Amino acid sequence: MEKLLEMKNIYKSFDGVVALRGIDFEVGYNEVVGLLGDNGAGKSTLIKIISGVHSFDQGEMYIKGTKIDPKKYSVKVAHSLGVETVYQEKALAEKQTLWRNIFIGRQITNKLGFINIKKEKEETNKIMRVSIGFRGIGADADSTIRTLSGGEREGVAISRAMYFEADLVILDEPTMALSLQEVNKVLKFIQDIKERGKSCIYISHNIANIYPVSDRFVVIDRGKIVGTYLRKDISLHELSEELIRHTEQGKPVSQGEREL
């Protein structure tokens, strides 16, 4: 069966430091996958490869059955294939207005490349009002990002992904630094993705939050996939135990050395 995303034996290193060593990873149509693992395990590298920010050194990647050429793959290509990434507030430019942030990289322009500011502002205001209920925050299209709170920024980043109708939404730490209420909004957003028949990958440290909305969990450790679990087969408690087991397994040598 064709998968939405398929990665086979993916390798990636930065200046000689190996970040990913033979990753096999896939996301099905209408599936929500949680990517779990310690800091430095390679989660961010993996999603940056999927979203076109980094290229991979070795291995094969398919999106909707199309083979990806790492040399030609880019954020723009990813967008055109329906892959949209939310890097929380990290991917927002603080001094710029909301409307510029929503449309950066995909500006509504005329043939000469001049931006249709009126249209972009209208669309932005629409997004702010309708999208996912981050409304009434006293901000409009002309507000700069730095006047917004952390939750509001997250809202803008998520709205941007929603607006461009992605088939695969990637969320990088979507619930970090959010209030309880805001976390609920993000979870609602993931549920919406699922209900609309789309797929989602998210990275989170807080598995308790994310557990109920997921279909499958993939644990990554030091550049390798070390475990895959379907939610229907594993309780939250068991999943936590598994995570702890993996992280402890990953470090016995170094800890032992330190104790000596």
Partner 1 sequence: MGNLNNNVKSKITTKYKSQIALLIMAISIFGLFMLTSPEVFLKGRIYQAFLSTVPIMGFMALGLTFVLAMGEIDLSFPSVMALSGYIFVLVFETTQNIVLAFIISLLSGAVVGFINGTLVTIIGIPSIVATLGMQFLIRGFSNIISRGLAKRVPLDSTFSYKIFAEKLWVIPVQSLWFLGLAVFFYFLLMRHKFGEQALFIGDNQEAARMMGVNVNRMKTMVFILMAVVAAFAGIISCYRMRTWWPTMGEGYLMMVMAAVFVGGTSMFGGDANIEGTFIGAFIIGSLEAGIVAAGLSGFWTQFVCGILIIVSVIIHTLAKRRKGS
Q: Which residues bind partner 1 (CB under 8 A)?
A: 51-53, 74-76, 79, 85, 87, 90-96, 100, 104-107, 109, 112-115, 117, 138, 140, 142, 144, 146-147
Which CB sits closer to partner 1, 118 or 245? 118
Nearer to partner 1, 73 or 217 (CB): 73
Q: How far is the CB of 52 from partner 1 (least distance, A)?
A: 8
Residue 30's Cα: distance from chain center in Å? 15
Contact 101, 145 (CB under 8 A): yes
CA distance 212 to 188: 11
* CB-nearer residue toward partner 1: 141 or 243: 141
The set of residues, in sequence order, having a beta carbon less than 8 Å from that of 20 and lying 6+ positions away, is: 10, 11, 12, 13, 42, 45, 46, 49, 56, 223
CB of 203 to partner 1, least distance (A): 14
The tokens of 176 are what?
Answer: 């970090």
Handedness of CA 125, 135, 139, 148 (dihedral sign): negative
Q: Cβ 63 to partner 1, closest distance in Å?
A: 16
Residue 75 CB, nearest distance to partner 1 (Å)?
3
CB closer to partner 1, 61 vs 139: 139
